[in-house]
Structure 1
């Protein structure tokens, strides 16, 4: 009996010592299905967070100041969106409920970049960043528009120079051909904005379709010489537009990312994917993305709707939906709203094109999410949860690990050469950034619709940004802004 009591006391002392010796983490995610697309880990594990890093992934119990039981939930790297146009906290809250921990404006970019980064500092729900906006940089290089550019620079202190207000303000400059001096100034402006932190260069030539091919080629040459990643909306949504982008990138060795391949290739998406595969197999750094909706969205006053748009896009007036009211357009309302200016939804794609793009190896998921409006395109709020709910769970078009890879690891790898911070994101591993999304695979789904407008997605339970719990049991944590800037490698 005495011997039994001795061993009992000894065991209790050892257990106490072990418990006291075990580190206490700031937060523990307990009992979840931990999935890491880079290592292939897919198992029940406990995750310990210390500061802004993942400190432990263990089969054993972990001590934490707060322990969250996530049994039955998937614990994933935080989702990364390469392509958003809504960059305020209003849009970021929808993105947060969609599982995002990083959302970047890379197709169009923002100007002036240095001022915008300063405005967002310590005031973002999730991580943020932008590319250099080529349309803005060429605009302020043109002598004819110098005075107007200075005025717009001042106004940008109140409103960032984003997609919609850029189109509205500088459309008249798109047909101007820069002389040699203005071309050199454009390239100098781009270089200065890269040094301000720009993540590569946004070249949305589709919105400047009359721009001289020589001018565009010079930007490609600059990018090839400096290894600056280009993000392009191609000149026209057809194979000629894609072939221009491919040939420019291949000839100049510029790294290139083609945005929303589904709405650029349309019915030729299989051919576009084959071209992309052939280019990468030959060592060219060309990547792309898709979003999981059959409609696009942009500004009605943009050059995309210049005469001949019906033939170019394969659309009619009735395929356009006016975001302000939700109505479908006719000839009269089209003409009135084009003069007024505003955002339309463009119903222009077939469901099988989306599945083809999503299934393709190496293709990222990105939203092209627009600025907030009650009836904005649902991709603004539901892109990533739609992939998980519809295309993984319901349609079984791709498996869960593949889907997560497209939303985490692939976008991180696309960016890590131009934005070094991304090498620590998109992974769920010890030492990686604690950007983590926890969701219920049985219920995760998008709720936003074309008819009903924006709604928060369902099924995303917790989101951590740099170790900070920003979404707690499906609710936004108030007055917490842990989002960090993502800068390009040229920042000085």
Structure 2
């Protein structure tokens, strides 16, 4: 039995055996036991009354229990609600509502539970004074493969969701299993690739159209992949230039029927009339309009090379008139592809805006090619990754000024620490150079291009994306905190494996995965964002 001088601590037990956890230590003043039976008025007492006075320890026990309940009850100044993670004193920026204020953010489980100016407490506390908290960045065109290092680079760049919209394998369930086995840090999803569908039906010649029979055989394969979780159909038509309009049209019909988007590397590159990027944009706009499918032109600005004004105008004009089209692009002056691809067929220099052989670099070694070396390496079997310096920054700015322009990385990860720095530092580069330094767009507009806009482009196919790309109560706790004064890319073409600077904290599905710029070991919060609707 508890005596009047017993101390109550955070793990005291109630009379029923329940713990009074959370109660600060309280010491009841020691009172001589005789005092509890004193009768100041010296009234005459009956035997029954004397028996009641003798049971005073039970009265103390009841009072102590009541005190525990009172102190544990929620209320101002008594017990404050405890969140899993709180971010304090941070500039909150939500592009959907336009909210822009200094506040505190409380996260419980995998959701944002409060955004308030009131004091809040959490099991994990992040002091983010002077920094910006935004929705986690969404990379709508990237590959992370079965490589956890690729996940860490994305997290270090503020990215919480990676979408392989340029095309994944036909075996979607195996794709998900292999990515899950990595211990994913980011959320991930992929489309099924047009080239994979072609190969599956025997259309292996990239310069030849599929036969009518092969086209019909692709339809159920695409449907099956979508039923298994693919979130769209990804096309690399510039890599399979023989693909016919009928072939593209048929797969757009499948996508429209199943409610998933088509994401395209367009058929042509550059501004050499008549086979220009603008003509390729016309193809996509026309087929999208005719089928009702949603279409997205991938890495548009690395394909325009002089045709950006007309290409962007075509997409914007069609969108304004009800055609569901958009575009994305990266913000680097080099691309990366394989030297053996159709992009380097005859006439490539003109399509690349007058590029020279010396503008082509081997990705792994940064060897700068000569004409002789170009043809020597191109004649070898396989696929040698090369980078070409040719993308004008002026056209990137045109893309950023478009309300439809989305920034993506088009990055596929590094191999032995080598590759394109876009896989590591695209979003920090965009924020540091184009938002802060060049002031092409405002902070809110810049954040929108890497959060809300990509989320909206895919939320029909991936309903969970309606809870991402927003920093609001009830939304998924995918959150990025960055320092607007220091954010920048550190990755370079010569040394691409350098994590971005100024990305301080990243939270994925309510789990802290980047803490003061360092990866949190053991965290595996990433989830597969599959297309949910089975096909009847």
Q: TM-score, normalised by structure 1?
A: 0.88
Other-structure match for 2:81 = 23
Contact 2:281 2:314 in 1 (8 A): no
**Cα deviation code 1:430-487 (max 9, x no counterpart):** 0000000001111111001123333100001100000100001100011211101111
Contact 1:125 1:480 in 2 (8 A): yes
Determine the C-alpha separation between the residues in 2 that align with 1:221 and 1:236: 22
Determine the C-alpha separation between the residues in 2 that align with 1:307 and 1:108: 26
The Cα shift of 1:118 comes to: 1.5
Other-structure match for 2:489 = 446
Give 1:226-237 correspondences, 5 Å limit: 226-237=258-269
The Cα shift of 1:375 comes to: 3.5
Determine the C-alpha separation between the residues in 1 that align with 2:222 and 2:74: 61
Taking a change above 3 Å as real, the CA distance of residues 404 and 345 of structure 1, as seen in their structure-2 partners, is: same
**Cα deviation code 1:32-75 (max 9, x no counterpart):** 11110101111111111101000111110112112111111111
Other-structure match for 2:372 = 332
Other-structure match for 1:262 = 301
**Cα deviation code 1:214-271 (max 9, x no counterpart):** 2222112222333321000001112222211111112222110111110122212121
The Cα shift of 1:93 comes to: 1.0
Determine the C-alpha separation between the residues in 2 that align with 1:476 and 1:186: 42
Other-structure match for 1:132 = 192
Other-structure match for 1:32 = 90
Other-structure match for 2:423 = 380
SS of structure 2 residue aligned to 1:207: coil
The Cα shift of 1:367 comes to: 0.5
Other-structure match for 2:388 = 346
Other-structure match for 2:443 = 400
Contact 1:86 1:372 in 2 (8 A): no
Determine the C-alpha separation between the residues in 2 that align with 1:275 and 1:199: 25
Taking a change above 3 Å as real, the CA distance of residues 66 and 457 of structure 1, as seen in their structure-2 partners, is: same
SS of structure 2 residue aligned to 1:25: strand
Other-structure match for 2:411 = 369
The Cα shift of 1:21 comes to: 4.0
Taking a change above 3 Å as real, the CA distance of residues 226 and 71 of structure 1, as seen in their structure-2 partners, is: same
Q: Does 1:271 align with 2:310?
A: yes
Taking a change above 3 Å as real, the CA distance of residues 17 and 313 of structure 1, as seen in their structure-2 partners, is: closer
Determine the C-alpha separation between the residues in 1 that align with 2:524 and 2:72: 42
Q: Does 1:355 align with 2:397?
A: yes
Q: Does 1:190 align with 2:222?
A: yes
**Cα deviation code 1:158-215 (max 9, x no counterpart):** xxxxxxxxxxxxxx43244433332222111111000110011101111101222222
Q: Does 1:323 align with 2:358?
A: no
The Cα shift of 1:335 comes to: 2.0
Determine the C-alpha separation between the residues in 1 that align with 2:74 and 2:468: 36
Contact 2:334 2:388 in 1 (8 A): yes
Alignment match of 1:75 (pick from 110, 133, 144):
133
Determine the C-alpha separation between the residues in 1 that align with 2:75 and 2:81: 12
Taking a change above 3 Å as real, the CA distance of residues 463 and 253 of structure 1, as seen in their structure-2 partners, is: same
Other-structure match for 2:232 = 200
Contact 2:142 2:162 in 1 (8 A): yes
Contact 1:317 1:330 in 2 (8 A): yes
Determine the C-alpha separation between the residues in 2 that align with 1:259 and 1:13: 58
Give 1:469-488 correspondences, 5 Å limit: 469-488=512-531
Alignment match of 2:112 (pick from 46, 54, 60):
54
Q: Does 1:251 align with 2:290?
A: yes
Say what the alpha-carbon RMSD is for the aligned residues. Answer: 1.9
**Cα deviation code 1:103-136 (max 9, x no counterpart):** 1110132332110111222621111110011111
Alignment match of 2:144 (pick from 76, 86, 106):
86
Other-structure match for 2:159 = 100
SS of structure 2 residue aligned to 1:405: helix
The Cα shift of 1:312 comes to: 2.6
The gaps in structure 1 that reach 5 residues or longer are 1-11, 146-171
SS of structure 2 residue aligned to 1:396: coil
Contact 2:421 2:492 in 1 (8 A): yes
Q: Identify which range, 305-314 or 285-294, moves more after superposition.
A: 305-314
Q: TM-score, normalised by structure 2?
A: 0.81
Determine the C-alpha separation between the residues in 2 that align with 1:290 and 1:175: 26
Other-structure match for 1:3 = none
Determine the C-alpha separation between the residues in 1 that align with 2:501 and 2:313: 35
The gaps in structure 2 that reach 5 residues or longer are 1-69, 270-276
Determine the C-alpha separation between the residues in 2 that align with 1:283 and 1:104: 25
Structure with the larger RCO, 1 or 2 (CA within 8 Å, 6+ apart):
1
Contact 2:165 2:233 in 1 (8 A): yes
Determine the C-alpha separation between the residues in 2 that align with 1:307 and 1:16: 74
SS of structure 2 residue aligned to 1:105: strand
Other-structure match for 2:339 = 300
Other-structure match for 2:348 = 309
Give the number of the structure whose residues are more often helix, by fraction. 1
Determine the C-alpha separation between the residues in 1 that align with 2:264 and 2:356: 25
SS of structure 2 residue aligned to 1:104: strand
Determine the C-alpha separation between the residues in 2 that align with 1:14 and 1:132: 54
